[in-house]
Structures are given as structure tokens and as C-alpha cells.
Amino acid sequence: MSSGTQSGTSGQFIDVWSPDSWLTADSRGDSRCLTFGNGMTIREIIVDIDNQRYRHSWSARGEPFTHHNASLQVFAEDEQTCRIVWIADVMPNEITGKIAEMIEQALHTMKATLEA
């Protein structure tokens, strides 16, 4: 873990930017259980939170995943604009469309939150 890394999730940049992507979040050490608006509930293992690099990486456990790991990083384009890179690897392949929709919704929520 880098020197800018902090464990836990409360108050981290990802929570500030996307507070409405899930209905409930129950943090437990380096993991949290999330219930999303579509009813999906997962356990998310926090791999790394680096507030200096604006990077968050995690792995989801539970149905419908047989495999999941993801990272999200924010890059400044200029003083008023940023670019978000979200990478997610999921299995089984049949759920990629559903997960892509959830990612798109989260990105729209982040954009609306930042522009408010």
C-alpha cells in the first residue's frame, strides 16, 4: 500500500462522489455490504484506497459473481474537468451487461454530484 493509502471507507473520495449509488452500506473493517437500488446485495472487499492518487480498488463477493475485481481512478484534465477510468473484470460473462448498466448509473450519479 502506498503512503497515501487509507483503510476503511467512511469519508473517502469514492463515498463523497457517489453517495446515492447504493441504498445501504454497512462497513466492517476493510469490507462493506452494499445493497443497490436494483436489489443486488454484495460484499465488497476494499483492496486499496489512495486519496492522493484518487484511486479506489475493490473486489465483490457473492451472487451473481463468480469473479469480480475493479478499480476506479480520477485524473484531472484541468482545474474544472476530470476524467474517470473505471475498470471491472467480472464473471460469469452473462452478467456483464447488467454490471455495465450499474457502472453507467454510478458514473451518472458521480457526474451529477460533482456538478451540483
Residue 27: Cβ within 10 Å count: 15
What is the structure's pLDDT at 17? 53
Tens-binned pLDDT, residue by residue, of the chain (116 aa): 233 333 344 445 555 555 555 545 556 678 888 777 778 888 889 898 888 898 989 999 988 999 999 999 989 999 888 898 999 999 999 999 999 998 888 888 888 877 87
Q: Is the pTM here over 0.95, yes or no?
A: no
User: Domain 13-115 adopts which CATH fold?
Assistant: Alpha-D-Glucose-1,6-Bisphosphate; Chain A, domain 4 (3.30.530)
Task: Locate the domains of the chain by residue range.
Answer: 13-115
β-sheet with 31-36: strand ranges across: 22-28, 31-36, 41-50, 55-61, 67-76, 82-91
- Per-residue cell: 42: 454484495
Alpha carbon of 11 to those of 3, 19, 65, 67, 92: distances in Å?
18, 11, 27, 27, 32
Which residue carries 460473462 as its cell? 93
Phi, psi of 41 (to 5 degrees): -120, 130
Q: Where are the alpha helices (DSSP H) in the chain?
A: 13-17, 96-115
